[in-house]
């Protein structure tokens, strides 16, 4: 593949040429006559061409004439009398009748009449359809609220028995398609999205399960790159609900808990994929690996993104303990694709792979990014894998870590198809179109507002590098975080790149109070660089004012960065008017 020197690809991952029709504002055939207001010989009555007093009529006027001529005499009289909503419309209607009666305006050519009639009316969604959609949304939300009454997803219950029992009763739908399993600390969702995009570009029907969602619960279950339809979400719940109830009764009778929120969603996803049906599912773990509810699939490929400290309360106090939990997704004979890891973590991955008689590929040894250049809306990358070298690939995601995630995705899909190289067109089209909402995503301009879901020190470090690379101007952060996170460690990586921070609140019981967070932030940034604004929209406005105030580099656009939590990013996207990811609005 050759580098496209003519232009980069569009901002926010747009595919050049897929939106506007270059060089013409009109879309040929859409009812606009590009370049000429008259279609020679068709929009004017030929018998009147010699009369210089006769005017040429635009399509919209022709339509009015056609409609007027279709009226009976009484209707024409009423129209001529000016039964319009206002005096101006009445005068226009009367003038039109006089012109027609005097033959000062040419009547339309019959062929043009047919063309005009054939033009589609502007698409409008009937009220009945809107009502039906609202009813479905209400039903989806009712199901979601019902599942929310269960144990929350951030509380790991170290057993796969409930999920396996439920799937056994259902006939094990998860065995009806192949799967790729993704774990790690950071980059799981972006990597899963790139893997799924490559598989879909190869012509496969795909499912994707990721968590948590940004704005709409249907984002968690994706079919062929789009959020599960409302009807299919409801169907998935109706399919699994009787079995969930049976497992609940069995577990409680034995002294155990009901199925958790996350366990129910896993079962729904696996059922939805079978119902679709899909050829392959790309499954992101919720937390950890060994005891994660997703870990009932017999995946032929296991992907491990960088492993770092996070969720220590449930996964372990050291990266080695966390790694032991995460390698639990490696199945017998699986291909294992790993990001660059610390030596101790890599040893744990290698030992598990050998024990399972698998095959290990590691970033930096077996696959790597050879070159990357920043571009509008993303970057241009060259990647080496065991099967091929892919040169000058446009990737619609920003940051060096996303280039490395792309290398993992390529390695995973090559392994999925038994080690063969992918078509250059497949790679190019997939990576040009891929998106990862909430990850270094520009959601507003003037001023520029970027949202990023970094919520731990390793994530903040990667985000800080990318912000310095893509946004060299003044940067002001808007931050909220969960109380169980390493707040001081995360803020420490943002301190060198943020001029100041505005601390805000989130509407969740897990969130750290803004005043408490601000106290920690002052220890990191200093008293004069921290302010508090509990309302998120006000916090963004305050940050924008700080970013633009006495800007020492007025030629470089300042940026507001909303970060610290996935929940915060989802709320910011809503406030900025962004649609829910994958068509889940």
- Cα(269)–Cα(528) distance, integer angstroms: 48
Question: Are 104 and 218 in a shared domain?
Answer: no
Please tell me the number of Cα atoms within 13 Å of 388 on its side-chain side. 16
Rounded to a whole number of angstroms, the distance between the first and last alpha carbons of the chain is 36
Which tokens belong to 107? 């009547």
DSSP H or E segment with residue 501: strand 500-503
User: For residue 2, is it within any domain?
Assistant: no
* Three-class DSSP labels, 192-237: HHHHHHHHHHCCCCEEEECCCCCCCHHHHEEECCEECCHHHHHHHH
Question: Are 487 and 520 in a shared domain?
Answer: yes
Say what the pLDDT of residue 311 is: 75
Contacts of 406 (CB under 8 A, 6+ apart): 194, 369, 381, 383, 393, 395, 397, 431
Which tokens belong to 403? 């280039």
Q: Quick check: 468 and 578 in contact, CB under 8 A? A: no
Say what the pLDDT of residue 17 is: 39
User: What average pLDDT does range 37-44 have in this prediction?
Assistant: 38
Domain ends where: 67, 96, 118? 118
Question: Are 89 and 169 in a shared domain?
Answer: no
Q: Does 391 have pLDDT greater than 90?
A: yes
3-state secondary structure of 137: helix
User: For residue 224, is it within any domain?
Assistant: yes
- Cα(381)–Cα(35) distance, integer angstroms: 40
Number of domains in the chain: 3
The enclosing domain of 528 has a CATH number of 3.90.190.20
Tens-digit pLDDT profile for residues 59-77: 555 555 555 565 555 555 5
* Angle subtended at Cα 442 by Cα 439 and Cα 448, rounded to the nearest 5 degrees: 135
Tens-digit pLDDT profile for residues 167-184: 999 999 999 999 999 999
Instruction: Determine how β-strand 178-183 pairs with β-strand 301-304.
Output: parallel
Question: Are 198 and 316 in a shared domain?
Answer: yes
Could you tell me the pLDDT band of residue 376, with boundaries at 50, 70 and 90? Answer: confident
Say what the pLDDT of residue 520 is: 98
Give 30 or 435, the one with higher predicted confidence.
Answer: 435
Contacts of 355 (CB under 8 A, 6+ apart): none
Mean pLDDT is lowest, of 87-101, 344-358, 536-550, for 87-101
Burial degree of 583 (CB within 10 A; 0-12, 13-18, 19+): middle
- Cα(286)–Cα(163) distance, integer angstroms: 14
3-state secondary structure of 428: helix
Could you tell me the pLDDT band of residue 509, with boundaries at 50, 70 and 90? Answer: confident
Q: Does 51 have pLDDT greater than 70?
A: no
Share of the chain above pLDDT 90, in %: 71
Contacts of 554 (CB under 8 A, 6+ apart): none
Say what the pLDDT of residue 24 is: 41
Question: Are 107 and 144 in a shared domain?
Answer: no
- Cα(188)–Cα(167) distance, integer angstroms: 25
User: For residue 275, is it within any domain?
Assistant: yes
State which residues form the domain around 76. Answer: 46-118
Measured from the Cβ of residue 530, the count of other Cβ atoms closer than 10 Å reads 22
User: What average pLDDT does range 378-398 have in this prediction?
Assistant: 98
- Cα(513)–Cα(480) distance, integer angstroms: 8
Share of the chain above pLDDT 70, in %: 78
Burial track 340-356 (b if 16+ CB lie within 10 A, e otherwise): ebeeebbebbbebbeeb
* Angle subtended at Cα 280 by Cα 275 and Cα 285, rounded to the nearest 5 degrees: 95
User: For residue 39, is it within any domain?
Assistant: no
Domain ends where: 85, 118, 151? 118
Say what the pLDDT of residue 77 is: 58
Say what the pLDDT of residue 446 is: 80
Say what the pLDDT of residue 585 is: 78
Could you tell me the pLDDT band of residue 47, with boundaries at 50, 70 and 90? Answer: very low
Say what the pLDDT of residue 120 is: 65
Q: Does 269 have pLDDT greater than 50?
A: yes
Please tell me the number of Cα atoms within 13 Å of 73 on its side-chain side. 0
Averaged confidence pLDDT in the chain? 86
Q: How far is residue 27 from each of residues 10, 16, 32, 568, measured CA to CA in Å? A: 20, 16, 7, 40
The enclosing domain of 350 has a CATH number of 3.40.1190.10
Could you tell me the pLDDT band of residue 530, with boundaries at 50, 70 and 90? Answer: very high
Question: Are 214 and 92 in a shared domain?
Answer: no
Number of residues assigned to the chain: 585
User: For residue 104, is it within any domain?
Assistant: yes
Question: Are 463 and 538 in a shared domain?
Answer: yes
Question: Are 461 and 574 in a shared domain?
Answer: yes
Peptide bond into 408 cis (omega under 30): no
Measured from the Cβ of residue 585, the count of other Cβ atoms closer than 10 Å reads 13
Question: Are 202 and 347 in a shared domain?
Answer: yes
- In eight-state DSSP terms, residue 409 is H
User: For residue 24, is it within any domain?
Assistant: no
Say what the pLDDT of residue 90 is: 59
Mean pLDDT is lowest, of 230-239, 280-289, 486-495, 549-558, for 549-558
User: For residue 34, is it within any domain?
Assistant: no
User: For residue 38, is it within any domain?
Assistant: no
User: The sheet that has 378-384: what strands, in order across it?
Assistant: 368-375, 378-384, 389-395
Which tokens belong to 409? 């995705």
Say what the pLDDT of residue 67 is: 58
- Cα(36)–Cα(19) distance, integer angstroms: 23
Domain ends where: 433, 449, 464? 433
Q: Quick check: 394 and 378 in contact, CB under 8 A? A: yes
Please tell me the number of Cα atoms within 13 Å of 436 on its side-chain side. 33
Q: Quick check: 307 and 323 in contact, CB under 8 A? A: yes
Q: Quick check: 359 and 346 in contact, CB under 8 A? A: no
Tens-digit pLDDT profile for residues 92-113: 666 656 655 555 555 555 555 5
Cα Rg of the chain (Å, integer)? 29
- Cα(501)–Cα(503) distance, integer angstroms: 6
Question: Are 415 and 294 in a shared domain?
Answer: yes
Choose among 333, 342, 380: nearest CA to 364: 342
Question: Are 278 and 403 in a shared domain?
Answer: yes
Tens-digit pLDDT profile for residues 190-216: 999 999 999 999 999 999 999 999 999
Could you tell me the pLDDT band of residue 54, with boundaries at 50, 70 and 90? Answer: very low
- Cα(84)–Cα(89) distance, integer angstroms: 6
Question: Are 239 and 148 in a shared domain?
Answer: yes
């Amino acid at each position: 593949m050759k580098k496209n020197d003519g232009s980069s690809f569009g901002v926010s991952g747009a595919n050049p040429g897929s939106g506007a029709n270059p060089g013409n504002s009109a879309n040929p055939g859409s009812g606009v006559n590009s370049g000429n207001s008259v279609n020679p010989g068709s929009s004017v009555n030929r018998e009147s061409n010699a009369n210089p007093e006769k005017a040429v009529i635009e399509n919209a006027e022709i339509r009015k004439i056609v409609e007027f001529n279709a009226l009976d005499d009484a209707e024409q009289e009423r129209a001529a009398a000016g039964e319009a909503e206002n005096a101006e419309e009445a005068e226009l209607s009367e003038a039109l009748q006089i012109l027609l009666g005097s033959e000062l305006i040419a009547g339309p050519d019959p062929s043009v009449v047919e063309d005009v009639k054939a033009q589609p009316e502007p698409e409008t969604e009937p009220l009945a359809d809107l009502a039906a959609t609202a009813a479905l949304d209400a039903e989806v939300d009712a199901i979601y609220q019902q599942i929310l009454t269960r144990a929350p997803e951030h509380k790991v219950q170290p057993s796969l028995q409930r999920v396996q029992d439920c799937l056994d009763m259902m006939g094990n739908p998860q065995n009806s398609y192949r799967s790729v399993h993704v774990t790690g600390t950071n980059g799981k969702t972006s990597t899963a999205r790139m893997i799924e995009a490559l598989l879909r570009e190869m012509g496969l029907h795909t499912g994707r399960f990721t968590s948590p969602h940004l704005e709409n619960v249907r984002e968690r279950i994706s079919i062929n790159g789009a959020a599960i339809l409302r009807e299919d979400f409801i169907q998935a719940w109706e399919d699994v609900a009787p079995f969930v109830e049976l497992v609940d009764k069995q577990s409680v009778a034995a002294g155990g808990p009901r199925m958790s929120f996350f366990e129910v969603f896993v079962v729904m996803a696996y059922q939805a994929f079978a119902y679709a049906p899909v050829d392959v599912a790309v499954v992101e773990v919720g937390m950890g690996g060994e005891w994660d509810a997703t870990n009932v699939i017999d995946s032929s490929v296991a992907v491990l993104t960088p492993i770092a400290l996070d969720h220590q309360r449930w996964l372990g106090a050291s990266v080695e303990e966390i790694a032991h939990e995460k390698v639990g997704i490696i199945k017998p004979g699986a291909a294992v694709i790993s990001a660059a890891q610390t030596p101790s973590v890599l040893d744990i991955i290698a030992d598990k792979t050998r024990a399972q008689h698998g095959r290990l590929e590691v970033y930096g040894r077996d696959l790597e990014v050879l070159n990357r250049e920043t571009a509008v809306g993303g970057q241009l990358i060259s990647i080496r894998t065991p099967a091929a070298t892919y040169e000058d690939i446009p990737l619609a995601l920003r940051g060096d870590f996303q280039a490395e995630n792309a290398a993992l995705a390529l390695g995973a899909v090559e392994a999925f198809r038994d080690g063969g190289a992918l078509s250059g067109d497949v790679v190019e089209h997939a990576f040009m179109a891929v998106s990862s909402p909430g990850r270094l995503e520009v959601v507003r301009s003037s001023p520029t507002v970027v949202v990023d879901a970094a919520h731990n020190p390793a994530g903040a470090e990667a985000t800080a590098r990318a912000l310095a690379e893509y946004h060299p101007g003044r940067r002001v952060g808007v931050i909220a975080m969960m109380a169980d996170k390493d707040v001081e460690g995360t803020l420490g990586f943002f301190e060198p790149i943020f001029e100041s921070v505005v601390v805000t609140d989130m509407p969740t019981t897990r969130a750290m109070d803004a005043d408490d967070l601000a106290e920690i932030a002052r220890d990191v940034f200093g008293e004069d660089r921290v302010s508090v604004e509990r309302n998120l929209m006000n916090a963004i406005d305050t940050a924008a004012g700080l970013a633009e105030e006495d800007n020492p580099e007025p030629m470089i656009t300042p940026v507001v960065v909303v970060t610290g939590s996935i929940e915060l990013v989802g709320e910011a996207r809503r406030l900025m008017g962004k649609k829910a990811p994958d068509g889940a609005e």
